[in-house]
Amino acid sequence: MFSAFRPTQSCLGGLLWKSPWRLSSSQKHRHRQRLRHVDGIVEVVDKALAKQGMTSAAVERWKTEMPTEAKMKPRDKYTMFDPKQKSYRKGVHKLPKWTRMSQRINPPGF
């Protein structure tokens, strides 16, 4: 059972990638930190522009469309829409490069 040649899934079949079904609590914590970091950047940019009496279409659109971290439901923070799943949801960590992307809203109706 503990030998070097034990019949594990990766030994027998070759390639086996395991990624947990759900996020760990520390992953969720860091994810919330990243969400708040992005919120902070949008706020800094918006305030700086407002001081000069200017606006930016990209910032305005983000503010109208995207909820802040505090306003997001846990469901939207940690999972995302997936048409292939029975429940139409999968963990947000299944999204490639999920730590460097913004994934906050669902398609209409979901």
Using CB under 8 A, list all residues that contact another protein: 34, 37-38, 41-42, 44-45, 47-49, 51-59, 62, 97, 99-102
Cβ atoms of residues 31 and 23 within 8 Å: yes
First to last CA, the chain: 46
Nearer to another protein, 10 or 102 (CB): 102
The Cα–Cα gap between 35 and 28 comes to 10
Judge whether 65 and 102 are in contact, CB under 8 Å. Answer: no
CB of residue 65 to another protein, shortest distance in Å: 12
Nearest CB to another protein, comparing residues 32 and 88: 32
Closest contact distance (angstroms) between CB of 86 and another protein is: 30
Q: Which residue, 34 or 88, has its beta carbon nearer to another protein?
A: 34
Residue 72: CB minimum distance to another protein, A: 16
Q: Which residues contact 10 (CB under 8 A, 6 or more apart)?
A: 16
